[in-house]
């Protein structure tokens, strides 16, 4: 019978054998998979694991700082790279969703490549690939790393991709990864975090991206997500977030007429993200959240709730 404890023991022994005194570089995303992969590698080779965590400027409010602290508290040897300005600059004026994804992917590769050069004599690239990713990458060009590779085949791979790849979770399903994380001491709060797309808020700001729009959306998202947690609804929902629409609408504030942005809230139930149904959140919760957003976030005067299922809608709006 498969148990997480036995998996940890066997895997750590195998990694020690495979890696010896070699140095490994690993990109942390803030998600469960890369975190658990890093914990296993850390247990096997300690300080020879060099983790890189990039702030692309498109993360949730305070996410970079909080998650970086979490990594440090796990004892990981991690470098946080604040590259937000670079990403925002590269995205200037770009509105097309796939173009945004490419720019974000390419900027990530550049930052990661530069950082990985600072680790001398690295031999391996650690990755949090899980079994469904392995299957997916055979049939479609899915997954962030796959996308990154395809963009760089022309001009040759970035240097870090010439490293040998080590993927300790490659045979596990998501629920097994969670169990392994739990057995290694990762708390439930972290393990139960909703999925979050690699391009982050970049594909939740419809139309062009500016630092100000990111700030607005971070505030809205934070009110929504904190509210779900406070009201005990967070764990009932598979994924939730807010979209900043490129639409202004008329509102009224005191005696003044306003003309400001619309945000859409989205919460869905799903098991794998392939199909999803909109979450039937309580009206009282939606009412309270809408008021909080409009009263506290300057630049937003209207909140709508997305009641579309996937298919035919997708979870993200871009
Ligand atoms: P959709 O919008 O296609 O999303 O219904 C399904 C799941 O995939 C996530 N998603 C992404 N994740 N890079 C990612 O890493 C992306 O470009 C991307 N697009 C969508 C989405 O958040 C949902 O969990």
Domains of the chain in start order, with CATH, are 4-191 (3.40.50.620), 204-305 (3.30.300.10)
Closest atom of ligand 1 relative to the 316 alpha carbon: 2
Q: What residue has token string 């919460």? A: 267
Backbone angles phi, psi at 6, to 5 degrees: -65, -40
Give the pLDDT score at 139.
46
Give the pLDDT score at 145.
46
Strands 164-166 and 122-126: parallel
Give the pLDDT score at 300.
98
Atom 20 (ligand 1) nearest CA: 197
C-beta 132 within 6 A of ligand 1: no
Atom 12 (ligand 1) nearest CA: 197
CA nearest neighbour of 106 among 141, 153, 67, 41: 153
pTM for the full model? 0.92
The helix/strand count (H/E) of the chain reads as: 11, 9
Q: Ligand 1 centroid to 279 CA: how many Å?
A: 17
pLDDT tens-place values along the chain, 318 residues long? 899 999 999 999 999 999 999 999 999 999 999 999 999 999 999 999 999 999 999 999 999 999 999 999 999 999 999 999 999 999 999 999 999 999 999 999 999 999 999 999 999 999 999 998 887 665 443 444 444 444 444 456 788 888 999 999 999 999 999 999 999 999 999 999 999 999 999 999 999 999 999 999 999 999 999 999 999 999 999 999 999 999 999 999 889 999 999 999 999 999 989 999 999 999 999 999 999 999 999 999 999 999 999 999 999 999
Rg for the chain, CA atoms, rounded:
21
Give the pLDDT score at 164.
95
CA gap 97, 60 in Å, rounded: 19
Q: What residue has token string 């959240």? A: 289
Q: Any known ligand binding at 34?
A: yes
Q: Any known ligand binding at 29?
A: yes
Give the pLDDT score at 138.
56
Give the pLDDT score at 137.
62
Atom 10 (ligand 1) nearest CA: 197
- For a ligand 1 pocket test, name from 270, 315, 318 the mutation site with the most ligand atoms within 8 angstroms of its C-beta: 315
C-beta 273 within 6 A of ligand 1: yes
Does this complex have an ipTM over 0.95? Answer: yes
Alpha helices by DSSP H, the chain = 4-19, 32-45, 63-73, 84-91, 97-116, 131-139, 144-152, 174-183, 188-191, 211-230, 283-296
């Amino acid at each position: 019978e498969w148990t997480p404890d036995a998996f940890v023991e066997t895997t750590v022994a195998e990694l020690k054998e495979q890696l010896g005194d070699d140095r490994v570089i690993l990109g942390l995303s803030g998600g469960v998979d890369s975190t658990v992969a890093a914990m296993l590698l850390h247990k096997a080779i300690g300080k020879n694991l060099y983790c890189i965590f990039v702030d692309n400027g498109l993360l949730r409010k305070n996410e970079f700082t909080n998650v970086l602290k979490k990594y440090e508290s796990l004892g990981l040897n991690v470098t946080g790279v604040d590259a937000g300005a670079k990403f925002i600059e590269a995205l200037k004026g770009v509105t097309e969703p796939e173009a945004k994804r490419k720019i974000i992917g390419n900027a990530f590769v550049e930052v990661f490549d530069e950082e990985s050069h600072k680790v001398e004599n690295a031999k391996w690239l650690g990755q949090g690939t899980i079994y469904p990713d392995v299957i997916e990458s055979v049939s479609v060009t899915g997954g962030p790393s796959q996308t990154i590779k395809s963009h760089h085949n022309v001009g040759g791979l970035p240097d870090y991709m010439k490293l040998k790849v080590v993927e300790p979770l490659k045979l596990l399903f998501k629920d097994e990864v969670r169990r392994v994380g739990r057995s290694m001491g990762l708390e439930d709060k972290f393990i139960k975090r909703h999925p979050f797309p690699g391009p982050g808020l970049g594909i939740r700001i419809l139309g062009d991206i500016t630092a100000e729009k990111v700030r607005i959306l971070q505030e809205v998202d934070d009110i929504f997500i904190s509210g779900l947690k406070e009201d005990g609804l967070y764990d009932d929902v598979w994924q939730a977030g807010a979209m900043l629409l490129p639409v202004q609408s008329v509102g009224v504030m005191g005696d003044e007429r306003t003309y400001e942005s619309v945000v859409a809230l989205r919460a869905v139930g799903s098991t794998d993200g392939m199909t999803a149904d909109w979450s039937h959140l309580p009206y009282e919760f939606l009412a309270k959240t809408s008021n909080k957003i409009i009263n506290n976030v300057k630049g937003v005067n209207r909140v709508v709730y997305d009641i579309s299922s996937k298919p035919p809608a997708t979870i993200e709006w871009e």
